[in-house]
Structure 1
């Protein structure tokens, strides 16, 4: 509905004003159906030549300089006490997010404890993510994201993420390098150690479109300097992503083997409207957690540099996933 008569149409999807993928429709000459069918759209990382002209057009409803207050629920479980099945930690972590130019996002988060069985150090209101992140898209389907600030797992410093999608868009490679120090907020004081720890990973990914399942294999260096291999399998649904992982890590217990599961669930409402520059208050797009089946507490640990970076949001711009949602809607 609403497409120009007998003319092709391309929709380019942006994330924080950085182009991710495009949906392209080309009418078939002699087709008796007057409107486009969902299955007629081609979804790809290819933006087409029109993007060079389209990006110069003034946007009618840009997200630049507009504020979101996003509340991230956090749930953690661990099984280390013989007399208790699980120790539980539940927090509500509101964050202010704002973009000041294309691809840039500033995030400031506060952790508010709701229920705590993890110990005294988790009782106080404290700083969460405080980051400045810049994303760019380069030719040949190359995506870069640089982030500096305070992250989770008591880290601060900087990271650089790289992702390249091949011509066969089921395959991609990605990597991350981080240079961080320890960061801790105690008694209303932010305590940090010098930047001296290098972490990294390099891996390949394959997406199985028939089942919306992603597979990845990575070689990694973790926070204590140990190295390891990690395999992930994630099945993606409309409102959830569920995955399993396995690891082999130097110096870890169980001969270095560990594994578990993780999930991300979309939180309603699933659609939001923005009214001018009035700040929006909304829940995070997804709620998730991971379960460490081997209870390894020291080795194989890493961190995430961005509060909204998870397996579900990453998959939301996968062209095969978008195409399947068009066909199943």
Structure 2
């Protein structure tokens, strides 16, 4: 890495830090899928790496990501997503159309303070198995969270590759929400999917339909790392109740990491649209953080109430 590139990265992180700590903000989350509805959506998975290879400065991997969600009601949901390569400079391993995620989940809510989500199936980061996520809201500015998983490796990129389900992941942490500035601080630590131990600290500033954040991480496997994240919610922000709904993916998420080949502090997603902005649980049920983080309903839904 050249000195010029190092300075560029330092300046970019400094700019994002200032952006997080100044000005006014507002945040709105996407509405959850109504009970009984099937959502069919399409997104794009964009990857690049800045290495010299075959005369190219950058290699690109771009996948279409068709997905489906079925909200069965009472907290039950089925979700699946596939990868369809359209540009591949990463090699033969990434050229196949393949299933990326297929999971069944169930949410439990306890008096508006406790939240639990159990999931099973094929997860992101080429993992499969069982996962349990929990959150307890202490007060309007503090929430405690935990995650535990028992997973194995599973990939369909080059045929069927899988390992036994014996790797344990366990994380605990806390979220701090400053409502005046719509700024969230998050700290987690524990054991990650490559059996490394470490911690991640994040600061996120929420705006109307966008979240910008920076993070720092440490792992005994990969040392120190850092970067920034940008999450942009994609219209339509108001959704009507239909039996079958076609739409784009709910969000665009960009993550920049200083250590691109870092195998430490890795986690997996259990929902194809999971992101740090909306969290793990149904925002209709969770009354925490800014009031403007609650779902935006159509006029018809407001008149008829939440079903």
TM over 0.5, yes or no? yes
**Matched-pair contact (CA < 8 Å) for 1:94–1:109:** yes
Which 4+ residue blocks in structure 1 deviate beyond 3 angstroms? 13-16, 80-86, 315-320, 323-326
1:270 aligns to what? 237
1:284 aligns to what? 249
In the superposition, the TM-score normalised over structure 2's length comes to 0.78
**Matched-pair contact (CA < 8 Å) for 1:258–1:296:** no
Cα distance between partner residues in 1 of 2:182 and 2:90: 36
2:151 aligns to what? 180
Cα distance between partner residues in 2 of 1:246 and 1:14: 30
Map 1:139-154 to 2 at 5 A: 139=111, 141-154=113-126
Cα distance between partner residues in 1 of 2:287 and 2:216: 23
1:64 aligns to what? 35
1:305 aligns to what SS in structure 2? coil
Cα distance between partner residues in 2 of 1:218 and 1:212: 20
Cα distance between partner residues in 1 of 2:200 and 2:51: 24
| 1:193 matched to 2:193 | no
1:297 aligns to what? 262
Cα distance between partner residues in 2 of 1:182 and 1:155: 5
Cα distance between partner residues in 2 of 1:324 and 1:186: 37
For structure 2, list consecutive stretches of 5 or more residues without a partner in the other structure: 1-29, 296-307
Cα distance between partner residues in 1 of 2:39 and 2:163: 31
CA 1:280–1:323 in 2, change beyond 3 Å: closer, same or farther?
A: closer
1:222 aligns to what? 192
**Matched-pair contact (CA < 8 Å) for 1:180–1:195:** yes
**Matched-pair contact (CA < 8 Å) for 2:79–2:101:** yes
CA drift at 1:213: 0.9
CA drift at 1:81: 3.2
CA drift at 1:126: 0.5
For structure 1, list consecutive stretches of 5 or more residues without a partner in the other structure: 1-12, 17-62
Q: 1:321 aligns with which of 258, 279, 290?
A: 290
CA 1:245–1:14 in 2, change beyond 3 Å: closer, same or farther?
A: closer
1:75-109 deviation line (CA, Å, top 9, x unaligned): 22323437644332221111121122311110122
2:211 aligns to what? 241
In the superposition, the TM-score normalised over structure 1's length comes to 0.73
Q: How many residues align?
A: 261
Map 1:24-35 to 2 at 5 A: none
Cα distance between partner residues in 2 of 1:140 and 1:68: 26
1:311 aligns to what? 276
1:242 aligns to what SS in structure 2? strand
CA drift at 1:208: 1.1
Map 1:28-177 to 2 at 5 A: 63-81=34-52, 84-139=56-111, 141-166=113-138, 168-177=139-148
Cα distance between partner residues in 2 of 1:66 and 1:216: 32
CA drift at 1:120: 1.5
Cα distance between partner residues in 2 of 1:177 and 1:153: 16
CA drift at 1:324: 8.1
CA 1:84–1:119 in 2, change beyond 3 Å: closer, same or farther?
A: same
1:45 aligns to what? none
1:121 aligns to what SS in structure 2? helix
CA drift at 1:69: 0.4
| 1:204 matched to 2:174 | yes
CA drift at 1:283: 0.7
